[in-house]
Amino acid sequence: MFKGSLVALVTPFKNGEVDYKKLKELVEFHITQGTNGIVPCGTTGESATLAIEEHERIIAEVVSMAGGRIPVLAGTGSNNTVEALRLTRHARKVGASGALIITPYYNKPTPEGLYRHYKLIAEEVDIPIVIYNVPSRTGISILPETVAKLSQIKNIVGIKEASGSIDQVTQILQICNITVLSGDDSLTLPMMAVGGKGVISVVANVVPADTAALTRYCLEGNYEAARKLHYKLFPLCKGMFIETNPIPVKTALKLLGKINGEMRLPLCEMTKENEHKLAGIIKSYGLM
């Protein structure tokens, strides 16, 4: 259901408030550039600092802005199962194509707790669900065996795998039939080479057409062309993480005149040294 390049969309702010005018511009930009799906309210969208009402409105607005032209995989995760359930119900109500649900952070649930968390939401809300595994953010990694068990629930259709491990992806695909999407831009090519179907991408905020082309080449089996794009994209992918995501990607979009780069505390502007380094990477790519 979900494949290719899905952008982990940034949330533009203006004077502390969500800038819905800029949000619409970004959605239109991705549609015209060939992005295969939009993911609002994920980690890159600073979901941790959004009020629930903002979270719900952003999802509704993005669905409306997309207008059925492109799938919207709404970030609806929380470390509170009841809150995640509320956000997922809302995403279903406003017409999102699916829900991306992060493994509960900080709580560090057991495999059984993770299973029950996802099972409850999947059974309560009839919407395609993509699990999101990002242990560097959450402090816990979902086991391949738990993924396989969850894949037996009909509307759990995929996993965004951001553990940084090709072994993890291989183990998941060996034991179950679930769509795997890379959660690490620099690993998109190797993950797709072992059977992944695409990426939920940070760097696609900056270079959507190239990111979409990389995934398209992989899906077509044209790995020679994909490899060339992988090497071209690699420095920019790494540049997106020289400070905590989404600080670099928002800074890059500011340098390119797309947004003002505003973030919410506790995130703040890049150091001047790193901004200079990032500007050099962007210039080398041919964007400035």
Beta bridge partners of 224: none
Helical axes 81-94 vs 111-124, angle rounded to 10°: 30
Please report the DSSP string for 230-279 in residue order: HHHHHHHHHHTTSSSTTHHHHHHHHHTTSS-----TT--PPPHHHHHHHH
- Looking only at the bridges linking them, the beta strands covering 37-39 and 73-75 are unpaired
Calpha distance 215→213 (Å, rounded): 5
| Known active-site residue 132 | yes
DSSP 28-63: HHHHHHT-SEEE-SSTTTTGGGS-HHHHHHHHHHHH
Query: Crossing angle of helices 208-220/20-33, nearest 10°?
Result: 40
3-state secondary structure at position 107 = coil
Catalytic pick among 118, 132, 197, 217? 132
Q: Hey, how many other C-beta atoms are within 10 angstroms of the C-beta on 51?
A: 9
Task: Note if the bond before 104 is cis, omega within 30 degrees.
Answer: no
Look up 105 and say whether it is catalytic.
Answer: no
Question: What single letter denotes the amino acid at residue 84?
Answer: A
**Distance between CA 205 and CA 211 in Å, rounded?**
9
Q: Which two tokens stand for residue 143?
A: 């086991």
**Cβ partners under 8 Å of residue 84, min gap 6:** 76, 77, 78, 101, 104, 117, 121
Out of 160, 197, 250, 258, pick the active-site residue. 160
Active site residues: 132, 160
